[in-house]
């Protein structure tokens, strides 16, 4: 077995930290993005609950946050991170910027997926007397499910890249391992190994996403 210059237990811990950061922030970010994207869809100029003020505020907020590079966003909201989790460093502290990063990103992807739903389905739901909640829950979201799953998959892969930058606040993870113990110490076997691990992560996530998206579409 090739020596990587660090204990294998440290590599396992880094992988666990990456998975923790990705999936906790993904769960929270997805929930927030679903709500925001539905509001955007309902209140846009052609929506069934037109509201220019609500739509403009949320749409502008999403665009502003998405325009800020993650590393800058992470440093900028350090005071907020301190307030929410009690510390500015560590794996848990990284969850705050990761959620704020991924929620607007997924919101835009979800909005596009929802807007692709045939308007005839919404009109049919309205004709049956469905409430706004029922239209969203029983008609729009199920119809957009396959596309939504692919959006979550894309967001998950984006989060893996963001966790590497989260090492700047001592978040740990595979990316931080590659930079701190690989690049800075010129440990090329470790750098190569971490790249392989990240590639495997991405391939597994993409394959799972493609599988469930295909099932949702009935393929």
Residues 173/163, Cβ–Cβ less than 8 Å: yes
pLDDT tens sequence for the chain (219 residues): 456 677 778 888 888 888 999 999 999 999 999 999 999 999 998 888 889 999 999 999 999 999 998 989 988 998 999 999 888 888 888 999 999 999 999 999 999 999 888 888 888 888 888 888 888 888 889 899 999 999 999 999 999 888 888 876 777 888 778 777 777 777 788 888 888 888 888 999 999 999 998 888 776
Buried b / exposed e along 137-170 (16+ C-beta atoms within 10 A): eebbbebbbbbbbbbbbbbbbbbbebbbbbbebe
Query: Is the overall model pTM greater than 0.75, yes or no?
Result: yes
């Amino acid at each position: 077995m090739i020596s990587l210059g660090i204990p294998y237990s440290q590599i396992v811990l880094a992988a666990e930290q990456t998975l923790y950061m990705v999936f906790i922030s993904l769960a929270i970010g997805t929930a927030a993005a679903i709500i925001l994207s539905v509001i955007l869809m309902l209140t846009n100029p052609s929506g069934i609950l037109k509201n220019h003020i609500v739509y403009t505020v949320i749409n502008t907020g999403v665009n502003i946050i998405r325009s800020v590079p993650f590393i800058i966003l992470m440093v900028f909201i350090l005071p907020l991170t301190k307030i929410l989790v009690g510390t500015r460093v560590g794996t848990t502290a990284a969850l705050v910027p990761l959620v704020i990063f991924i929620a607007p990103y997924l919101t835009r992807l979800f909005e596009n997926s929802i807007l692709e739903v045939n308007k005839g389905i919404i009109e049919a739901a309205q004709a049956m007397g469905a409430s706004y909640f029922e239209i969203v829950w029983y008609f729009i979201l199920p119809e957009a499910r396959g596309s939504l799953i692919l959006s979550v998959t894309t967001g998950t892969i984006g989060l893996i890249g963001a966790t590497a930058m989260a090492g700047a606040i001592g978040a740990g993870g595979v990316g931080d391992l590659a930079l701190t113990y690989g690049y800075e110490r010129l440990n090329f076997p470790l750098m190569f190994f971490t790249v392989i691990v990240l590639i495997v992560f991405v391939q597994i996530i993409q394959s799972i996403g493609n599988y469930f998206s295909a099932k949702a579409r009935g393929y």
